[in-house]
Amino acid sequence: MKSPLLLAAVATLATGVALAATADPNRTKILDGYAAQAKAQSPEFAAFSADRGRALYLGPHSGGKAETPACAACHTENPTAQGRHYKTGRAIEPMAVSVTPKRFTDPAEVEKRFERDCPNVLGRACTAREKGDFITFLASR
């Protein structure tokens, strides 16, 4: 268990970091990992962008399944609202970190879902930059 004191210290440290719009150390670590990969893939990479993340989230994209032209197809256009799986009908907790603080804090879960969800929507895997943009967008909501 983390002490409130430690969390407060981390929060103070993170305020100064432009990349991380959020104080959760696990989310910061996940974003840092994607940033390193993005840089390795393209030397021009500077920083993640919430705007690009929004465009990815809202689509519409082609290349994936017709029923899911955007992440919003299941996660709903308004990331602070409850989503719904287009096929199973199951409710999905809001993606916005402000509403669901545990979002993007478990690296294995995050990778697993990117691996499954990106091909459905884009017809291909997401790049490290897209993953970071997506999280940056939702961490700002």
Per CB under 6 A, residues contacting ligand HEC are 68, 71, 73-75, 85-88, 92-93, 103-104, 109-110, 113-114, 116-118, 120-122, 126, 134
Name the binder of 48 from ligand HEC, other proteins, none, CB < 5-8 A by kind.
none
Name the binder of 84 from ligand HEC, other proteins, none, CB < 5-8 A by kind.
other proteins
Question: How many other CB atoms are found less than 10 A from the CB of residue 67?
Answer: 10
State the minimum distance, in angstroms, from the CB of residue 91 to other proteins. Answer: 8
Structure tokens at 23: 């104080």
Nearer to ligand HEC, 29 or 85 (CB): 85
State the minimum distance, in angstroms, from the CB of residue 106 to other proteins. Answer: 11
* Residue 39 burial (10 A CB sphere; 0-12, 13-18, 19+): middle
**CB distance 19 to 104 below 8 Å:** no
Instruction: Note the residues at the interface with other proteins (CB under 8 A).
Output: 65, 84-85, 87-90, 116, 119-120
Q: To 5 degrees, how large is the angle CA 82–CA 88–CA 92? A: 20
| Residues shown for the chain | 141
